[in-house]
């Protein structure tokens, strides 16, 4: 039997640090963390936070190590509704990034806060 994405999210999400857009903004203002939007380029182009870097979830493991070499730099990931961001955070943790947070609200809220 296959595991659905929703069932997998229920397993993965409790192991991730999940925060609001407001909390992420306050932290980034202090710690110079990296805001990553893991949506597809067309979604990012339609509306995005001005400080976000777009790295689609499917490319994240390949592109982020070239962009950010410090495994301790705070990284904040978001997507349209939270699912892709949770999976992205799990993968970044597997790569060795030690300070990864998931912004759990919708992308529109992230855009408004940042």
How many domains is the chain built from?
Answer: 1
DSSP secondary structure string for all residues of 10-68: HHHGGGSEEE-HHHHHHHHHHH-PEEEE-S-HHHHHHS--TT-EE--GGGHHHHHHHH-
What is the per-residue pLDDT for 112?
Answer: 87
Q: For the domain that residue 39 is a member of, what is the CATH number?
A: 3.40.250.10
Q: What pLDDT digit, counting tens, does each position of 61-113 carry?
A: 999 999 999 999 999 999 998 999 999 999 999 999 999 999 998 888 888 88
With respect to residue 10, please indicate whether it lies within any of the assigned structural domains. no
Say yes or no to pLDDT of 36 above 90: yes
Domain membership flag for residue 8: no
Q: Write down the pTM of the prediction.
A: 0.94
- Residue 109 covered by a domain: yes
Residue 6 placed within a domain: no
Which range marks the domain in which residue 25 is found?
15-113
Whether 2 is in a domain gets the answer no
Over the stretch 10-31, which tens digit does the pLDDT of each residue have?
999 999 999 999 999 999 999 9
């Amino acid at each position: 039997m296959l595991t659905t994405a929703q069932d997998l999210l229920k397993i993965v999400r409790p192991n991730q640090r999940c925060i609001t857009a407001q909390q992420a903004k306050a932290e980034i203002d202090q710690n110079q963390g990296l805001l990553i939007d893991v949506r597809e380029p067309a979604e990012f182009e339609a509306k995005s936070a001005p400080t976000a870097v777009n790295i689609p979830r499917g490319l994240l493991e390949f592109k982020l190590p070239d962009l950010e070499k410090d495994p301790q730099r705070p990284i904040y990931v978001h997507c349209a509704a939270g699912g892709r961001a949770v999976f992205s955070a799990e993968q970044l943790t597997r790569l060795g990034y030690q300070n990864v947070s998931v912004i759990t609200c919708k992308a529109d809220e992230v855009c408004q806060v940042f």
